[in-house]
Amino acid sequence: MAHDHGGRDEVLSPDEAFAVLGNATRVEVLRALGAADHPLSFSELYDRVDYDARGNFSYHLDRLGDHFVRQVEEGYALTQAGKRVVKSVLSGAVTEHPVMPPTHPRGWDCPYCGAPAVVGYDHERLWTACPECAGTYGPSLAPGGSLAPPDHGYIGHARLPPAALEDRTPREVGETAASWGHLEFVTLASGVCTRCGARLDRSVTVCEQHDVEGPGLCEGCDCRHAVHLHSTCTNCIHEEVTPFALGRLVATTPLLTFLATHGVNPVAPTDLSRFYRTLLDYEEEVESTDPFEARFTFTLDGDTLTLSVGPELTVSEVVRSDARERS
């Protein structure tokens, strides 16, 4: 069986790891250890798993160690990899596919035109759309494909595990998604992969003929924003393409402070309309594409915050203007 390596997990290849987990008994072993508040002896673990061949039970424990299960003085415990598997199963990420039909949560409006937003959940994504304007993305750019009604503008989506819908109203699901999604964006903006924690390679694309009028999108790029950040993990397969502010600026102190001083909690927002309006309906002014230089201006309660960004994709200048000072 497994031996303790001081908390260090044995590294399996992806193929080996999937092969180990391709057995219901082994997954139940992981769940039993995850539900326990202390390491379990062989007998305790066997009694908690629905398996009737005691002599063969050791084989499954051997298959799980040392990557998912480790042996300690008191018995058997999960490694960090084992804990991640259990969390994934219990979140519903690999076992359930709930759906929330389109609804209009009270107090949640389109960040661009102010119409009541339409919200739904499918494929582990909480999506938002507008029945009155074109939203953020056209159909060709909606990440993962638009789940919204075809006659609605696609505003965006937040990845959310199925367990997040349990015992929550649509409004509460939205607030949960805002917190979960914003923390993911902060991690992404810090250059850290939200899936494995590895370093990200980042690059910028700019629609140089960008033209957006009224409630429409740019005909050239099929998007409301001209500047996008491409983030690609150097370790796993995860990659993101986001409006520049969401992909790079949401982790900056000036923008976090701007939100907080206006009563918008940047970690657990409850005023979803003001939160998304500030982070999505911002102004872009591209001064140069090579090297990249641009200014991004955010507005909240009449006050503005302008962040200048240079070739290194870092903020080089901060200008804040209060409405009272301008009046």
Task: Convert the pLDDT of each residue in 77-102 to its tens digit.
Answer: 888 887 877 777 665 555 566 788 88
- Asked if 278 contacts 271 with a C-beta cutoff of 8 angstroms, the reply is no
Q: What is the mean pLDDT of residues 4-18?
A: 52
Please report which confidence band the pLDDT of residue 159 belongs to, taking 50, 70 and 90 as the band edges: confident
**Residue 260 clears pLDDT 90, i.e. is over it:** yes
Confidence of residue 267 (pLDDT cuts 50, 70, 90): confident
Report percent pLDDT > 90 for the chain: 43
Mean pLDDT to the nearest integer, 143-150 = 67
Residue-by-residue DSSP string for 163-224: GGGTT--HHHHHHHHHHHHHHHHHHHHTTB-TTT--BEEEEEEE-TT----TT---TTTSBS
What is the pLDDT averaged over residues 146-172? 85
**Of 14-18, 28-32, 256-260, where does the model show the most confidence?**
256-260
Decide if pLDDT at 2 tops 70. Answer: no
Write the pLDDT tens digit of every residue in 172-191. Answer: 988 888 888 888 999 999 99
Supply the pLDDT for residue 3.
35
Integer Cα distance of 160 and 174 in angstroms: 10
Query: What integer is the mean pLDDT of 203-211?
Result: 94
* Res 32: pLDDT: 87
CATH numeric code, 14-90? 1.10.10.10
3-class DSSP state of 233: strand
Q: What is the pLDDT of residue 6?
A: 39
pLDDT of residue 56: 83
Average pLDDT taken over every residue of the chain = 85
Please state, in angstroms and rounded to a whole number, the distance separating the CA atoms of residues 38 and 79.
Answer: 13
pLDDT for 220 beyond 80:
yes
Model-level pTM greater than 0.75? no
Give 45-49's long-range contacts (Cβ < 8 A, gap of 24+). 45/75, 45/76, 49/25
138 or 283, greater pLDDT = 283
Instruction: Give pLDDT, residue 93.
Output: 59
Distance spanning both ends of the chain, measured CA to CA = 74
Mean pLDDT of 205-211: 94
Task: Give the residue with greater pLDDT, 193 vs 196.
Answer: 193
Q: Kindly list the domain boundaries of the chain, sorted by start residue.
A: 14-90, 100-248, 252-326
Residues in CB range of 315: below 8 A, 6 or more apart: 249, 252, 254, 307, 308, 309
pLDDT mean over 6-20:
56
Between helix 272-280 and helix 170-189 the angle, nearest 10°, is 30
